[in-house]
């Protein structure tokens, strides 16, 4: 497949799995177009027109000819300068690596990734949080993340890929949409009665099983094996953690159990105050699952040699 085809497949599949639904996405893109049309010409020069095509600012082709045929991918949860140099060393040893594919954003995808966090608003509203509350709480959190990202030297790995002339692409929120959709549908379908039942579901998934072997299993951080699950909310997409003040609203919306990639201490304490069950499925294991589901979709359309690095393990589902 050409690099452009890979990129568009990733975007389209991510949109199909987006928990907001097609109508919300359509409205968001229409708003983006209206905003762009009303811009001054001098501002349009700097506008990333990919925002008119899809809402995932953390997923981009960072370097490379879009017409390039991709046969061998070097895939990692993170592709930083070290991984770029590792890929070059492998190329020196005869591996014909055509594309560096990172889950976590780098370059312009990292600089603008906080923009995807606006999707939290619609996700929260969909599960019962009033839209005005969701908007108010998330606006503050998004500004916080924007300030944190702003000073980062985000072009280092992209510059390394450019100097070594190897294509580089990120796939963040589309892959996170895949894992969120997969787990929410699986859990809703199996209807676990207790957290022990829920843990059994997770432990049966290859990516979590492998993480457990590496001493990073899914964990119950609040609740016990005998705790009733109630209504389960899988919260694994939207860039990063949402507002720490949202947990009371989730509780009021009837959510009893959270299944997350990770939860920092401040967020955890807020969830604890609401007596919510918390299951940490695992960050890297969940990223593995999302990326594997995306690669399954790509391999329906093309055949690739996939080399893994940086915490990524390839588990292919049956086609």
| Mean pLDDT on 79-108 | 97
- What tokens does 69 get? 């045929």
- Going through the chain in order, the beta strands assigned E by DSSP cover 61-63, 72-76, 99-102, 167-170, 219-222, 231-235, 255-260, 277-280, 305-309
Instruction: Give the span between the Cα atoms of 131 and 136, in whole angstroms.
Output: 9
| Mean pLDDT on 260-280 | 91
The angle, 0 to 180 degrees and rounded to 10, between the axes of the packed helices 283-298 and 173-190 is 100
Q: Residue 143 pLDDT > 80, yes or no?
A: yes
What pLDDT, on a 0 to 100 scale, did the predictor assign at position 181? 96
Q: Residue 268 pLDDT > 90, yes or no?
A: no
What pLDDT, on a 0 to 100 scale, did the predictor assign at position 25? 92
What pLDDT, on a 0 to 100 scale, did the predictor assign at position 319? 61
What pLDDT, on a 0 to 100 scale, did the predictor assign at position 267? 86
**At which residue do the structure tokens 């009033």 appear?**
130
DSSP, res 277? E
For the stretch 27-73, pLDDT in tens is 999 999 999 999 999 999 999 999 999 999 999 999 999 999 999 99
CATH number for region 178-283: 3.40.1390.30
Domain with CATH 3.40.1390.30 in the chain: 178-283
At 147, the pLDDT band (50, 70, 90 cuts) reads very high
Distance of CA 158 to the CA centre of its chain: 20
For the stretch 187-199, pLDDT in tens is 999 999 999 999 9
| Mean pLDDT on 120-144 | 91
Q: Residue 117 pLDDT > 90, yes or no?
A: no
> How far is residue 64 from each of residues 165, 174, 295, measured CA to CA in Å?
8, 20, 20
Instruction: Give the span between the Cα atoms of 38 and 35, in whole angstroms.
Output: 5
- What tokens does 236 get? 């694994």
| Mean pLDDT on 248-263 | 92
């Amino acid at each position: 497949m050409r690099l452009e085809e890979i990129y568009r497949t990733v975007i389209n599949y991510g949109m199909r799995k987006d928990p907001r639904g097609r109508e919300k996405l359509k409205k968001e893109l229409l708003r983006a177009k209206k905003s762009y049309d009303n811009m001054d010409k001098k501002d349009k020069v700097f506008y990333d027109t990919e925002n008119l095509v899809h809402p995932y600012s953390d997923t981009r082709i960072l370097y490379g000819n879009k017409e390039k045929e991709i046969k061998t991918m070097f895939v990692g949860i993170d592709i930083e300068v070290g991984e770029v140099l590792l890929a070059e060393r492998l190329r020196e040893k005869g591996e014909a690596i055509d594309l560096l594919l990172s889950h976590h954003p780098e370059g312009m995808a990292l600089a603008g990734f906080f923009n995807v966090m606006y999707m939290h608003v619609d996700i929260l509203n969909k599960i019962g949080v009033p839209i005005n509350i969701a908007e108010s709480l998330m606006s503050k959190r998004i500004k916080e993340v924007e300030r944190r990202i702003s000073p980062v030297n985000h072009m280092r790995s992209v510059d390394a890929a450019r100097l070594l002339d190897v294509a580089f692409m990120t796939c963040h929120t589309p892959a996170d949409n895949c894992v969120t959709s997969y787990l929410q549908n699986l859990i809703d379908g199996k209807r676990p009665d207790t957290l022990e039942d829920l843990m059994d579901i997770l432990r049966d998934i290859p990516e979590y099983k492998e993480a457990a072997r590496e001493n990073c299993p899914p964990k119950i951080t609040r609740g016990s094996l005998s705790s009733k699950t109630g209504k389960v909310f899988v919260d694994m997409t939207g860039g990063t953690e949402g507002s720490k003040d949202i947990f009371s609203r989730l509780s009021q919306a009837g959510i009893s159990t959270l299944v997350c990639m990770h939860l920092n201490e401040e967020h955890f304490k807020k969830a604890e105050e609401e007596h919510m069950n918390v299951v940490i499925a695992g960050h890297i294991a969940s990223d593995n699952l999302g990326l594997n589901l995306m690669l399954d979709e790509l391999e329906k359309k093309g055949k690739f040699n996939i080399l893994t690095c940086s915490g990524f393990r390839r588990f292919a589902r049956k086609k």
